[in-house]
Amino acid sequence: MSLAAYLRPPDLTRRTLRVWQRNWKVFVRTFKVNFLPPLLEPILYLLSLGYGLGLFVSNINGVPYPQYIAPALLAISIMNASFFETTYSSYVRMYFQKTFDAIIATPLSIEEVITGEILWGATRSLINASIMLPVLVLFRVVDLPISLLILPFALLAGFLFASLGMCFTALTPSIETLNLPAFLFITPMFLFSGTFFPLSILPGPLQVIAYAILPLTHAVLVCRMITLSQITPQILISLAWIAAVGAVAFVLAVNLMKKRLIV
Amino acid sequence: MADIIVAEDLEKRYGDFVAVNRVSFAVREGEVFGFLGPNGAGKTTTMKMIQCVSPKTSGRLEVFGMDVDRHQPEIKGLIGVVPQETNLDPDFSVEENLLVYARYFDIPAETARESIESLLSFVQLTERKNTSIEKLSGGMKRRLILARALINNPRLLILDEPTVGLDPQARHLIWDRLRALRSRGNTIVLTTHYMEEAAQLCDRIVIMDLGKILEIGRPQDLVQKHAGLDIVEADYKPEVIACLGRLQTKYEVAGDRVQVFTDRAREVAAALIQECSPIEVVSRPSGLEDVFLKLTGRRLKE
């Protein structure tokens, strides 16, 4: 396949939503299990890091530590929800359950299946953010009503992380090797994207790398500007970065999957 | 009757490997058309090209008069597929599997519910409506897949090894359902390596090997043409071979047996017993399996 073929926009119809509906139906069936992690995660992190470690940190740039990490917790949850949906969960559906094979025997195309999966991944981010946000509101660590803007942003950032996840799923030889992007991409981002300490204390070159190639850096920036109601024009740069990389990753994911599955 | 599928010089290559080697065939409306062949013959690849999930390399392939490269959603909407692998959705119950599948064809939920009732009764799974997929036996899963393939009321049903791994009861139930579908006028294309399945169900068959079509025709005609009416078998010993030479009888060696394809079984058997002193002589009617082995050879296909 030529480079141009990897960047060909997919042909989509309304049927794409059928795949989203299928995953939604499964999600609703197992709702109680799905509900817990995004509910408990912020509580645990806020208690241990925000209020535990926070005793020693007191504030960062004048922001109390729990308020400082709250938007990072949102961004991390947005990332994890969609990335793990389109890596492990999609891989299980594709490889073990043969769900994609079953669907493409109907009028749906593989492009529509993959797009539906990515849209579903983005939806998982939205769901996680909407469960977490009320918890953070109860802890009084996010500002209202501006923080409601997190919800549409969760869809946008979720679309990016879902597309990135799907690229790895298209390339991975087995489910075990999906651990590699989880360890080498997600974990470093979790720690070094301005999540628990400001990027400015990193050495210069690392700061450049964090801004240039780590999607979570931009997601944390946006979330923090929103929840602290400190929106500056810089938000536009990060939003543009997320939208642009998201669009490229999406098209790439669909074409990589086509290459893997259409033989 | 109109042709539902037309293939001309249809070819599929994977790099240097030729999986389907310029085959031509036509499937008529209302017939049951079988693809027989050993593993690796190219049967499944041919099915996948007809289903529009695997693109052809070259040649012509039309389904319902539409080109498979350009009318995929239209063609896929008119066919039902029973794949070789069981790919039911384990996250759903029996009924939910059919409901979700109906949605992929844009069938409204109300219409789907009605056809699900009759489909479940057709495949004898009405009582299992709310059972989860894991709790179904192998035969039930295959029947559910058959029901799923019928959800869009397809004009053409494609079955890839529909009864593989099933016990005789389960297999006969599937055969019975397929005959019922044929009598309703459905066109059915299936692959199999069970000769009995092909002989029982198919109006016409092709025998494939190594990507090529070796024969095409009605099962009984192929048997008549290649194996005659009967087969007389004797043990493979030098004395028997020499004796058959003296009698100027044509024979084939199959493992530790020699086989004589003949329309005069009684005479041949009598001559063998009198002249050749074999240990054992068996005379039996010839079948599709004899044709199959004669055409595709006896070595293992791996």
B97 touching A, CB under 8 A? no
User: What pLDDT is stored for residue B299 in this prediction?
Assistant: 65
User: What pLDDT is stored for residue B302 in this prediction?
Assistant: 52
CATH placement of domain B229-285: 3.30.70.1510
Contact A262 B92 (CB under 8 A): no
Q: Which of B77, B88, B91 sits opposite A107 (nearest CB)?
A: B77
Number of domains within chain A: 1
User: What pLDDT is stored for residue B267 in this prediction?
Assistant: 84
Q: What is d(CA A8, CA B100) in angstroms, rounded to the nearest whole number?
A: 30
Of B283 and A160, the structure prediction assigns the larger pLDDT to A160
User: What pLDDT is stored for residue B39 in this prediction?
Assistant: 86
CATH of B3-223, one of 1.10.460.10, 3.40.50.300, 3.40.605.10, 3.40.30.10: 3.40.50.300
Contact B55 A25 (CB under 8 A): no
A28 touching B, CB under 8 A? no
Q: How confident is the model at residue B253 (pLDDT cuts 50, 70, 90)?
A: confident
B236 touching A, CB under 8 A? no
Q: Which residue has the tokens 């794949």?
A: B83
B103 touching A, CB under 8 A? yes
B54 touching A, CB under 8 A? yes
Please check the confidence at residue B279 and state whether its pLDDT lies above 80: no
Q: What is d(CA B164, CA B118) in angstroms, rounded to the nearest whole number?
A: 25
Q: Is A5 part of any domain?
A: no
Please check the confidence at residue B94 and state whether its pLDDT lies above 80: yes
Question: Domain segments of chain B: what residues?
Answer: 3-223, 229-285
Mean pLDDT of the region B275-290 = 84
Q: What is d(CA A92, CA A95) in angstroms, rounded to the nearest whole number?
A: 5
- Whether residue A71 contacts residue A126, with contact meaning beta carbons closer than 8 Å, is answered with no
Portion of chain B with pLDDT greater than 90, in percent: 65
Nearest residue on chain A to B87, alpha-carbon basis: A98
User: What pLDDT is stored for residue B25 in this prediction?
Assistant: 97
- Nearest Cα residue to A245 out of A213, A205, A220, A222: A213
CA distance B103 to chain A (A): 7
Going residue by residue through chain A, which has 263 residues, state the pLDDT in tens, using 9 for 90 and above. 688 889 999 999 999 999 999 999 999 988 888 888 888 988 899 999 999 999 999 899 999 999 999 999 999 999 999 999 999 999 999 999 999 999 999 999 999 999 999 999 999 999 999 999 999 999 999 999 999 999 999 999 999 999 999 999 999 999 999 999 999 999 999 999 999 999 999 999 999 999 999 999 999 999 999 999 999 999 999 999 999 999 999 999 999 999 999 98
Contact B104 A18 (CB under 8 A): yes
User: For residues B139-171, b (16+ Cβ closer than 10 Å) or e, as one string?
Assistant: bbbbbbbbbbbbbbebbbbbbbbbbbebeeebb
Nearest residue on chain A to B151, alpha-carbon basis: A106
Q: What is d(CA B119, CA B126) in angstroms, rounded to the nearest whole number?
A: 9
Size of interface A-B (CB pairs under 8 A): 63
pLDDT in tens, B149-208: 999 999 999 999 999 888 898 899 999 999 999 999 999 999 998 888 998 899 999 999
CA distance B46 to chain A (A): 12
Contact A105 B81 (CB under 8 A): yes
- Nearest Cα residue to B202 out of B62, B5, B24, B28: B28
Q: How confident is the model at residue B12 (pLDDT cuts 50, 70, 90)?
A: very high
Backbone angles phi, psi at B203, to 5 degrees: -75, -45
Q: Give the predicted TM-score (pTM) of the model.
A: 0.92
- Nearest Cα residue to A104 out of B105, B13, B116: B105
Q: What is d(CA A181, CA A171) in angstroms, rounded to the nearest whole number?
A: 11
Contact B106 A107 (CB under 8 A): yes
User: What pLDDT is stored for residue B300 in this prediction?
Assistant: 63
Please check the confidence at residue B46 and state whether its pLDDT lies above 60: yes
Tell me what ipTM this predicted complex has: 0.91
Domain that holds residue A252: 13-261
A179 touching B, CB under 8 A? no
User: What pLDDT is stored for residue A38 in this prediction?
Assistant: 85
Q: Which of A21, A99, A107 sits opposite B87 (nearest CB)?
A: A99
Prior bond to A145 cis, omega within 30?
yes
CA distance B75 to chain A (A): 8
